[in-house]
């Protein structure tokens, strides 16, 4: 796990539209790099929906948003068709980017979430927004989300490894970073 501000780890990938992506091409901009579970994950789709709802704010700040899913492009497409995604989406079914950024698998954390019913309220909200639970073949159900805020100098200023599926950086914190570089 990343434990102090360090230079972001550069990588290249192919986005869901078949275009080549290079993280360092965004150097000079503030970046939100988020790792989600898989394309069918209701929590990931709800989070993306919430970020998109605030897209006007992000546009004004110049924040670049990159979302990585541990799914193939074909497995992501049915879920992103619901909304236009002004976010770069990267399929990573082999989890190479997850490994690069030390994003964890945790059966223990997943079991704790299930046993304590931690995500019930969030699941209800996702359902109301039209995101239905479904199983995606070959999904890694033990993956935990993670967020990274990267500054204009390509330094990771904040990282957040989730303790449970709905534990991510707040939209307010991301926006404060995007607008002013302020971290709480």
DSSP track, 3-20 = -S-EE----EEE-TTS-E
**What local confidence, expressed as pLDDT, does residue 81 receive?**
60
**What local confidence, expressed as pLDDT, does residue 101 receive?**
96
Query: Would you give per-residue pLDDT tens digits along the chain (184 residues)?
Result: 556 779 999 999 999 989 999 999 999 999 999 999 887 777 788 888 888 888 778 878 889 999 999 999 988 887 776 556 678 999 999 999 999 999 987 767 665 665 566 666 766 766 777 767 666 667 666 788 999 999 999 999 999 998 776 778 988 999 999 988 777 6
d(CA 129, CA 110): 23
**What local confidence, expressed as pLDDT, does residue 109 receive?**
64
d(CA 165, CA 134): 16
Residue in 162, 164, 160 with CA at minimum distance from that of residue 118: 164
Answer for the pair 154, 7: CB distance below 8 angstroms, yes or no: yes
d(CA 158, CA 66): 15
Q: What is the DSSP string of 118-149?
A: TTHHHHHHHHHTT------TT--TTB--EEEE
**What local confidence, expressed as pLDDT, does residue 90 receive?**
95
pTM of the model: 0.84
Residues in the chain: 184
**What local confidence, expressed as pLDDT, does residue 154 receive?**
96
Structure tokens given for 101: 């950024």
């Amino acid at each position: 796990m990343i434990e102090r501000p360090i230079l972001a780890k550069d990588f290249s990938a192919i986005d869901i539209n078949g275009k080549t992506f290079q993280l360092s091409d965004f150097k000079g901009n503030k970046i939100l790099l988020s790792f989600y579970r898989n394309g069918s994950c209701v929590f990931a789709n709800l989070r993306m929906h919430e970020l998109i709802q605030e897209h006007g704010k992000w546009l004004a700040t110049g924040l670049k948003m990159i979302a990585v899913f541990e799914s193939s492009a074909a497995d992501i497409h049915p879920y992103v068709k619901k909304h236009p995604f002004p976010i770069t989406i990267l399929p990573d079914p082999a989890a190479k980017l997850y490994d690069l950024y030390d994003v964890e698998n945790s059966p223990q954390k997943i079991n704790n979430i299930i046993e304590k019913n931690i995500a019930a309220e969030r699941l209800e909200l996702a359902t109301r927004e039209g995101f239905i639970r479904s199983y995606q073949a070959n999904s890694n159900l033990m993956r935990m989300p993670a967020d990274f805020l990267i500054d204009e100098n390509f330094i990771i200023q904040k990282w957040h490894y989730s303790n449970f599926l709905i534990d991510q950086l707040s939209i307010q914190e991301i926006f404060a970073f995007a607008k002013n570089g302020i971290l709480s």
